[in-house]
Chain A
């Protein structure tokens, strides 16, 4: 159940009225913000927290499919691709100068007089296609593990962390040898231990007992 406020419900159900305004805020991967709507309107932006001028570039928003689960809500947006000059449309210029692929968006179906949204959804944009007069974007999931670059770690005796980096946390003045023995923050080494003493008490930690060949992988 979406918790609509009394302000919104009071006017939204009236028999007569004006349509809600579609507000689309986009922050591209370079940090540029774009504010688009289907009418020129000044509204408080979620991205910036202050009133912004939304330009009437948005031709259509939706349909949206909301899943109410980990499955990503999906929908599409159509942006006018008419303005510009004979060499390049504005949207094309924008796509050339930066990238909207993966840009963060916040969409609101907004009741302007009540100053509250009926629908709000967030995601990333992916360019679906452009035509002579329209650029169509589709919403992509906010979290796409397959799209993420992850470091290639080796499971081995050599610590995989950067010395004194955030995950290491060492504040010592000299670099370690990336071994367990030389570790300066023993709670954190990212190391596979290669030998274990059997006769230790329960409160004693595992300790490697043989010399480590740092070039060898397990």
Chain B
């Protein structure tokens, strides 16, 4: 995997190189313009993400050794039609750094500025989507964003399919447990019954809800409590067979995920797939209408998706 070839594998001075492969301070970290946005004169804006592209860095290496400059040129040539890993050591908390896979899309111009000192300025490093990484983005507290069933404007973002009534329906819940003033609109199945409290009817087997996003991995939060049942999960159209990130002790290591809890626990992390490449991804929850023996019903309630960006 070319991602294992890391341009700047270490934080500080590279003894073998007699220099550091880290860029000089003052470079720009940015995102390419992949959001098509139009705002009518008297309305909120409309937007569509147009591409699955990621981050762009405009990097410079000032006053470096020839070995450093030549290495930059080599990475440009070697990975002009491929990709390698660049680590942003300073752009994250701690000394772990964040990995990016991509390549130089502009040519590093080597300029000799003094005795054996070279400048390489304004080289664009652009992320390549859909390819594997050595280390996927890990700072879920600071770099992941929340995607709810409804966006900030109140538009439904979670695609839902119901084959019986009551099917999926929105339900306004307290964000962090009962009594909390901040609310979030979940999408519940079966809608009317789940809204009214512990539902007497089971979920509708075959109903599903699907969210599409641009980003890396995700964490899926569903409501957990006595009235909640079991579901299946698919990622990008492929059913999840074995949970690679099991958080709930009563979750089966199979294709079935159980949202039952003895007491109302609010939104719980049901499944996460943190090691996914940058791309458009789809997460789908299928209602099975089955439940834990202790559960009072088999409802499913979609709370949110936490998406790494």
Interface residues of A in 151-209 (CB under 8 A from B): none
- Which chain A residue has the least Cβ–Cβ distance from B151? A16
B153 within 8 A of A: yes
Q: Does A114 contact B (CB under 8 A)?
A: yes
For B161, give the chain A residue with the smallest CB separation: A7
- Contact residue among A10, A39, A51, A111 (Cβ-Cβ distance under 8 Å from B156): A10
Give CA–CA (A195, B236) in the complex, Å.
73
CB contacts (< 8 Å) of A11 on chain B: these are: 156-159
Chain A proximity of B151: nearest CB distance (Å): 5
A19 lies within 8 A of chain B by Cβ? yes
Which of B130-170 touch A at CB < 8 Å?
Answer: 130, 151, 153, 155-161
A113 CB contact (under 8 Å) in B50, B153, B210, B279: B210
Point out the residue from B49, B52, B157, B237 that lies within 8 Å of A14, measured CB to CB: B157
Decide yes or no whether A41 CB sits under 8 A from chain B: yes
A15 beta carbon closer than 8 Å to chain B: yes
A18 on interface, CB distance cutoff 8 Å: yes
Question: Which residues of chain A (1-46) have a CB below 8 Å from chain B?
Answer: 7-8, 10-11, 13-19, 39-43
Q: Which residues of B contact A43 (CB under 8 A)?
A: 237
A36 to B161 alpha-carbon distance, docked (Å)? 26
B254 CB within 8 Å of chain A: no
Tell me, yes or no, whether A115 is within 8 Å of chain B by CB.
yes
Majority DSSP secondary structure for residues of A touching B: loop
B212–A112 contact, CB under 8 A? yes
The answer to whether A39 and B280 touch (CB under 8 A), given A10-B156, A11-B159, A113-B212, is yes
Q: Which of B40-48, B95-103, B224-232 contacts A (4 or more CB under 8 A)?
A: B40-48
B280 touches A17 (CB 8 A): no
Q: A42 near B238 (CB under 8 angstroms)?
A: yes
Q: State the Cβ distance, A23 to closest chain B Cβ, in Å.
A: 13
Q: Which of A13, A39, A113 contacts B52 (CB 8 A)?
A: A39
Q: Name B238's closest neighbour in chain A (CB-CB).
A: A42
Q: Chain A, interface size: which category? A: 20 to 34
Q: Do A112 and B282 form a contact, CB below 8 Å, given A11-B158, A51-B237?
A: yes
Q: Which of B44, B151, B212 contacts A18 (CB 8 A)?
A: B212
Bound-state CA distance A155–B50 (Å) is 62
What is the CB-to-nearest-CB distance from A25 to chain B, in angstroms, rounded to a whole number? 16
Of chain A, the residue at the smallest CB distance from B130 is A40
Q: Which of A14, A17, A40, A42 has the most CB of B within 10 A?
A: A14
* Contact B159 A16, beta carbon cutoff 8 Å: no
Q: How far is the CA of A14 from the CA of B155 in the complex (A)?
A: 5
Nearest chain A CB to B153 CB, angstrom units: 5
A159 to B272, CA, bound (A): 73
- Tell me if A19 and B159 are in contact (CB < 8 A): no
Residue of B whose beta carbon sits closest to that of A39: B280
Q: A19-B50, A40-B130 are in contact. List 17 more A-B contacts (CB 8 A).
A: A7-B160, A8-B159, A10-B156, A10-B160, A14-B151, A14-B156, A15-B45, A15-B46, A15-B47, A16-B48, A18-B48, A18-B49, A41-B280, A42-B236, A111-B159, A112-B280, A114-B159
Question: Which A residues lie at the B interface, using CB under 8 A?
Answer: 7-8, 10-11, 13-19, 39-43, 51, 111-115
